[in-house]
C-alpha cells in the first residue's frame, strides 16, 4: 500500500514537471513566433550601430587638438576660427556624454553639436588655404588625411545606424510583432535626419596642390 502511494506521488510529480516543461516550451515557441527574438536582435543591432557612431565621432574629436595646435603654429592670428573649432569640440564632448538615441530631443541636440563641429572644421580648412607653409607642413597633411578618413568612417557608421533603425522600426510596427513589442515596452526609435545625407557624407577637404580649395562639407541638419 505504501509502495503504491509512493509510486502515485512520483507519477504526479513527474506529470507536473512534464506539464511545466510543456508550458515553458509553448510560451517560448509562442514568443518566438510573435517576434520576440527578432525584436531582441533588432534592438541589439541599433545599440551596436549607435556605439560605432559614437566611436567615430569621438575619433574625429580626438584629432582636433593636434589639428588646432598645428594651424596655430602658422596662423595664430586666426583666433576666431581656432576658437570656434575649440568651442565646438567642447560642446560635442558635453553632448556626447549625455546623448540618448532613444530620446528625440537628445538626438537632435547631438546632431546639432556634430553639425557645428563639421562647420567649424570646414572653416578651419578653408583658412588653411591662405597659408602655403601650413599646407605643406607634413603633420598638417597627415592630420587632414586622418580627418578625411574619419569623416568617411562616420558616413559609414551613420548609414549603418540609419539602416538598423529603419529595420527595427518597421519590425516593431508590423503585426503581430507590434503586439509583442507593446507588451514588452519596445517602441519605435527616433531617426537621424537624412534629408541632406549625400552632402553630409562629403568630408571637408583642402587642395594641398596649390589649386582651388574643394567645397567645404555642409553641416549636418539637426534631427527632426
The residue among 65, 199, 75, 52 whose CA lies nearest residue 121 is 65
Distance from C-alpha of 156 to C-alpha of 179, rounded to nearest angstrom? 33
* pLDDT band per the 50, 70, 90 thresholds, residue 199: very low
CB 79 within 8 A of CB 72: no
Cβ contacts of 12 within 8 Å, gap of 6 or more: none
C-alpha cell at 14: 513527474
Comparison of pLDDT for 193 and 12, the residue scoring more: 193
- CB crowding 81-108: b at 16 or more within 10 Å, else e: bbebbeebbebbeebeeebebeeeebbb
Q: Please write the tens of the pLDDT for every residue from 76-115.
A: 999 999 999 999 999 999 999 899 999 999 999 999 999 9
Distance from C-alpha of 207 to C-alpha of 217, rounded to nearest angstrom? 14
Q: Please write the tens of the pLDDT for every residue from 117-172.
A: 999 999 999 999 999 999 999 999 999 999 999 999 999 999 999 999 999 999 99
Distance from C-alpha of 155 to C-alpha of 145, rounded to nearest angstrom? 16
> Is the confidence at residue 215, as pLDDT, over 60?
no
Mean pLDDT over the full length of the chain:
82
* pLDDT band per the 50, 70, 90 thresholds, residue 34: confident
* Residues above pLDDT 90, as percent of the chain: 69
DSSP-based three-state secondary structure for 213: coil
CB 14 within 8 A of CB 146: no
**Number of residues assigned to the chain:** 224
* pLDDT band per the 50, 70, 90 thresholds, residue 208: very low
* pLDDT band per the 50, 70, 90 thresholds, residue 193: confident
CB 148 within 8 A of CB 203: yes
> Is the confidence at residue 224, as pLDDT, over 70?
no
CB 133 within 8 A of CB 75: no
Tell me the domains of the chain and their CATH numbers: 63-186 (1.20.1440.20)
Amino acid at each position: 500500500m505504501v509502495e503504491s502511494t509512493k509510486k502515485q506521488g512520483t507519477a504526479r510529480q513527474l506529470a507536473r514537471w512534464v506539464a511545466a516543461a510543456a508550458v515553458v516550451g509553448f510560451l517560448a515557441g509562442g514568443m518566438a513566433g510573435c517576434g520576440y527574438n527578432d525584436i531582441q536582435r533588432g534592438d541589439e543591432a541599433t545599440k551596436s550601430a549607435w556605439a560605432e557612431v559614437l566611436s567615430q565621432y569621438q575619433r574625429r574629436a580626438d584629432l582636433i587638438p593636434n589639428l588646432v595646435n598645428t594651424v596655430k603654429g602658422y596662423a595664430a592670428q586666426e583666433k576666431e576660427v581656432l576658437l570656434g573649432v575649440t568651442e565646438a569640440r567642447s560642446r560635442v564632448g558635453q553632448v556626447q556624454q549625455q546623448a540618448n538615441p532613444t530620446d528625440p530631443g537628445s538626438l537632435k541636440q547631438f546632431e546639432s553639436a556634430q553639425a557645428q563641429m563639421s562647420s567649424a572644421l570646414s572653416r578651419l580648412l578653408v583658412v588653411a588655404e591662405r597659408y602655403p607653409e601650413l599646407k605643406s607642413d607634413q603633420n598638417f597633411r597627415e592630420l587632414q588625411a586622418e580627418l578625411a578618413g574619419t569623416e568617411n568612417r562616420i558616413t559609414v557608421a551613420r548609414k549603418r545606424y540609419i539602416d538598423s533603425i529603419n529595420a527595427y522600426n518597421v519590425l516593431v510596427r508590423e503585426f503581430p510583432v507590434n503586439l509583442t513589442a507593446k507588451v514588452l515596452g519596445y517602441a519605435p526609435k527616433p531617426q537621424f535626419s537624412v534629408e541632406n545625407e549625400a552632402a553630409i557624407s562629403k568630408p571637408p577637404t583642402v587642395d594641398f596642390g596649390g589649386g582651388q580649395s574643394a567645397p567645404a562639407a555642409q553641416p549636418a541638419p539637426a534631427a527632426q
